[in-house]
């Protein structure tokens, strides 16, 4: 069994489809996904089984993990599939990040990305987003990390417009946070602060009133 070197890379490549997928992950869940995405080599033709210790994952994330915490996080992560955007013809596709995740009492972890994600993570030639894990990890909000990736996709254009209801769906915002003053304060303004503090982007959110039809 070949060990996976989690220290080798910090860059993540994801297609625009994954970046714009509907999902709701906790901070630790998205951090684990992002950390393991760095294990993918852009030259890989297929997904591999990744084998590493919990200590190596802790070093990658920059903090300690309790075994029970890791187990509950992975169980939660496996119950939160990605809802991939499809053409507006009634089609839909729901995929898990991982096909399996295994922990041994000797501290060794094994996992593999689901094969249905292959077109969105391997052999990417156009419309993909490259991000640096070292910029993403310090942000304390999972929403800030998602907003960064959504804006990073448009960094060459210089701006991106969002319909507020569609952004709610994309981020899978809970009902209690959909009221605009809550959404603005807890997600948009926090993301603006986090992105400007920790990443290579400098952003400013501006509001545009929707004109009645």
List of residues 6+ apart from 76 with CB closer than 8 A? 26, 29
Q: Are residues 131 and 158 in the same domain?
A: no
pLDDT tens, N- to C-terminus, the chain (213 residues) = 677 888 888 999 999 999 999 999 999 999 999 999 999 988 889 999 999 999 999 999 999 999 999 999 999 999 999 998 776 676 788 999 999 999 998 999 999 999 999 999 998 988 899 999 999 999 999 999 999 999 999 999 999 999 999 999 999 999 999 999 999 999 999 999 999 999 999 999 999 877 665
State which residues form the domain around 102: 1-137
Sheet holding 50-53, edge to edge: 50-53, 108-113, 98-103
Q: Of 99, 115, 137, which residue is a domain's last?
A: 137
Residue 68 pLDDT = 92
Provide the domain count of the chain: 2
Residue 213 pLDDT = 59
Q: Are residues 95 and 163 in the same domain?
A: no
Positive/negative CA dihedral, 6, 202, 172, 94:
negative
Residue 209 pLDDT = 79
Residue 1 pLDDT = 67
Residue 88 pLDDT = 67
Residue 153 pLDDT = 95
Q: Are residues 161 and 173 in the same domain?
A: yes
Q: Are residues 108 and 41 in the same domain?
A: yes
Residue 211 pLDDT = 65
CATH number at residue 105: 1.10.10.10
| pTM, full prediction | 0.93
Q: Of 137, 172, 188, which residue is a domain's last?
A: 137
Backbone φ, ψ for residue 82 (5° rounding):
-90, 130
Q: Are residues 23 and 125 in the same domain?
A: yes
Q: Are residues 20 and 100 in the same domain?
A: yes
């Amino acid at each position: 069994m070949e060990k996976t070197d989690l220290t080798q890379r910090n860059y993540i490549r994801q297609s625009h489809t994954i970046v714009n997928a509907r999902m709701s992950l906790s901070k630790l869940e998205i951090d684990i996904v992002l950390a393991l995405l760095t294990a993918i080599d852009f030259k890989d033709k297929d997904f591999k089984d990744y084998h590493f210790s919990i200590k190596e994952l802790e070093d990658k994330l920059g903090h300690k993990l309790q075994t029970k915490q890791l187990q509950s996080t992975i169980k939660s992560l496996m119950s939160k599939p990605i809802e991939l955007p499809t053409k507006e013809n009634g089609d839909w596709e729901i995929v898990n990040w991982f096909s399996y995740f295994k922990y041994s009492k000797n501290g060794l972890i094994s996992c593999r990305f689901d094969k249905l994600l292959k077109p969105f993570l391997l052999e990417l030639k156009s419309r993909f987003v490259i991000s640096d894990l070292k910029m993403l990890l310090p942000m304390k909000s999972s929403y800030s990390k998602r907003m960064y990736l959504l804006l990073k996709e448009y960094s060459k254009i210089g701006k991106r417009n969002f319909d507020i209801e569609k952004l709610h769906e994309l981020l899978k915002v809970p009902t209690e946070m959909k009221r605009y003053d809550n959404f603005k304060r807890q997600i948009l303004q926090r993301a603006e602060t986090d992105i400007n503090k920790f990443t290579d982007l400098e952003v400013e959110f501006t509001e545009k009133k929707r004109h009645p039809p």
